[in-house]
Amino acid sequence: MAGLALTTGAFGRYGQLLAQTAAPGGQMGTSTSGAASKGAPFRLPDLSYTYEALQPHIDAKTMELHHGKHHLAYVEKLNAAIGKHPDLTQMLLPELLAHLDKVPEDVRQDIRNNGGGHANHTMFWTIMSSNGGGEPKSGIGAAIKQGFGSLDELKKAFNGAGLKHFGSGWVFVVVDPKSGAMEVVTRPNQDTPLMEAKRVLLGNDLWEHAFYLKYNNRKEDYLNAWWNVVDWNEIGRRYDAIRSGDAVI
């Protein structure tokens, strides 16, 4: 698994996901004993907008708790798990998630839950914007038309799957890098298609912490409103990265 480590700079806004590659060698020397295990290789990514920015569709209090408490907790627990096996810092998070069978058993579930949570939320924040919504243009617009018939058909399939999903989890659109074929899938808890080495184009958080303060039990209203903050420019970039083999998470 060693040798998969890459520099953080290569991945632009997703660089924070890969920060673990910088920790042991830099500040900690070559030791893999106690000192390195106290490193905190993963960090909560900053948002490129304020907690108020997605209102009225997502309220500021939900954003503050979701990003500042829930996502932070995933990062902290992921760091605690990685800290027990500092050699795991040699692997990128997507590689860890795709090869959980090679992760030591005592931290496997923690890395599945919290590494999945970190990857899912990092993707989630970047595909939303105060200037979101509307119709996807150019390449991604054509791809959605080809895959689903229209944006409305995609929304119908996506919201339908999200509504039907029982309990906590996520609804995603995954893309086959080679064919460009798209599919709507759901996963429980913080599981991610990255665990199956699939590529996520976009996803929405179905946990009650994502919507309950504002929407209470009206999950369908949340699912509908969410499309108003979806950033098609970023999703277009993700699509291009997936197709060219450069996607990170």
Please, what is the minimum distance in Å from the beta carbon of residue 30 to Mn ion? 37
Radius of gyration of the chain (CA): 18
Interface segment toward Mn ion; rule CB under 5 A; list 21-29, 51-59, 155-163, 198-206 = 198-206
Please, what is the minimum distance in Å from the beta carbon of residue 237 to Mn ion? 22
Q: How many residues bind Mn ion (CB under 5 A)?
A: 2
- Edge to edge, the sheet with strand 169-175 lists 182-188, 169-175, 199-205
Distance CA 188, CA 100 (A): 16
Member of 114, 127, 154, 205 binding Mn ion (CB under 5 A): 205
Interface segment toward Mn ion; rule CB under 5 A; list 84-92, 139-147, 163-171, 197-205 = 197-205
Which token pair is 223? 């699912």
Interface segment toward Mn ion; rule CB under 5 A; list 101-109, 134-142, 161-169, 203-211 = 203-211
Determine if 234 is a binding residue for Mn ion (CB under 5 A): no
Question: Within 10 A of 166 (CB to CB), how many other CB atoms are there?
Answer: 8
Please, what is the minimum distance in Å from the beta carbon of residue 120 to Mn ion? 7
- Strand 199-205, strand 182-188: pairing: unpaired
Scan for tokens 């920060």, then name that residue.
19
Contact indicator for 183, 174 with CB cutoff of 8 Å: yes
Please, what is the minimum distance in Å from the beta carbon of residue 105 to Mn ion? 26
Q: Tell me the per-residue interface mask from 116 to 145 with Mn ion, x by CB under 5 A, - otherwise.
A: ------------------------------
Distance CA 200, CA 180 (A): 12
Please, what is the minimum distance in Å from the beta carbon of residue 210 to Mn ion? 5
3-class secondary structure, 173: strand
Which residues of the shown chain bind Mn ion in the complex (CB under 5 A)? 205, 207
